[in-house]
Structure 1
Amino acid sequence: MTSAKWRTLATDLVRKRTRHKSESSFNRNTPKKVRINQNIRLVPFDKMREESLKWYQDPESMRNIVGVKIIYTKEQIQEMYKWQNEHGLLYYIEYYNGFHKQIIGDVWLAEDDYAIVIDQAFRNRHIGRIVTKYFIYKSNKIGREFITVSEIFNWNKASQKMFTSLNFYPFKENKDSWSYRRQLKRSQKGKENSK
Structure 2
Amino acid sequence: MTSFKWRTLATDLAKKRTRSKPESSFNRTTPKKVRLSETVRLIPFDTLREESLKWYQDPESMRNIVGVRITYTKEQIQQMYEWQNDHGLLYYIEYKKDKKTQIIGDVWLAEDDYAIVIDKAFRDQHIGRMVTKYFIFKSKKMGRDFMTVSEIFNWNKASQKMFTRLDFFPFKENKDSWSYRKRLKNLKKDKHNLK
Residue in 1 that maps onto 2:5 = 4
- Pick closer, same or farther for the CA change 1:186–1:11 going to 2, 3 Å: same
Give the partner amino acid of 2:53: L
Give the partner amino acid of 1:183: R
Residue in 2 that maps onto 1:74 = 74
Give the partner amino acid of 1:120: K
Q: CA deviation at 1:92?
A: 0.2
User: Alignment length, in residue pairs?
Assistant: 192
Residue in 2 that maps onto 1:112 = 112
What secondary structure sits across from 1:167 in the alignment?
Answer: coil
What secondary structure sits across from 2:116 in the alignment?
Answer: strand
- For 2:12 and 2:64, the matched residues in 1 are separated by 17
RMSD between superposed Cα atoms in Å: 2.0
What secondary structure sits across from 2:68 in the alignment?
Answer: coil
Q: Which runs of 4+ in 1 moved over 4 A?
A: 13-18, 190-193
- Pick closer, same or farther for the CA change 1:65–1:123 going to 2, 3 Å: same
Residue in 2 that maps onto 1:149 = 149
Alignment check: 8 A CA contact 1:11 1:76 kept: no
- Pick closer, same or farther for the CA change 1:148–1:97 going to 2, 3 Å: same
Q: CA deviation at 1:24?
A: 1.8
Alignment check: 8 A CA contact 2:147 2:184 kept: yes
Residue in 1 that maps onto 2:50 = 50
Give the partner amino acid of 2:169: Y
What secondary structure sits across from 2:105 in the alignment?
Answer: strand
Q: TM-score, normalised by structure 1?
A: 0.92
Whose RCO is larger (CA < 8 A, sep 6+)?
1
- Pick closer, same or farther for the CA change 1:24–1:118 going to 2, 3 Å: same
Q: CA deviation at 1:15?
A: 4.8
User: What does 1:83-102 correspond to in 2, within 5 Å?
Assistant: 83-102=83-102
Alignment check: 8 A CA contact 1:109 1:115 kept: yes
What secondary structure sits across from 1:149 in the alignment?
Answer: strand
- Pick closer, same or farther for the CA change 1:15–1:110 going to 2, 3 Å: farther
Identity percentage over the alignment?
Answer: 74
- For 1:125 and 1:2, the matched residues in 2 are separated by 32
Residue in 2 that maps onto 1:122 = 122
Alignment check: 8 A CA contact 1:104 1:122 kept: yes
Q: CA deviation at 1:22?
A: 1.3
Residue in 2 that maps onto 1:38 = 38
- For 1:185 and 1:33, the matched residues in 2 are separated by 27
Any idea what the Cα deviations from partners look like across 1:4-62, whole Å, max 9, x if unmatched?
Answer: 263x4713267577633313220000000000111100000001100000000000000
- Pick closer, same or farther for the CA change 1:146–1:15 going to 2, 3 Å: farther
Gapped regions of structure 1 (runs ≥ 5)? none
Q: CA deviation at 1:149?
A: 0.1
What secondary structure sits across from 1:23 in the alignment?
Answer: coil
Q: CA deviation at 1:185?
A: 2.4
- For 2:130 and 2:88, the matched residues in 1 are separated by 20
Gapped regions of structure 2 (runs ≥ 5)? none
- For 2:68 and 2:24, the matched residues in 1 are separated by 29
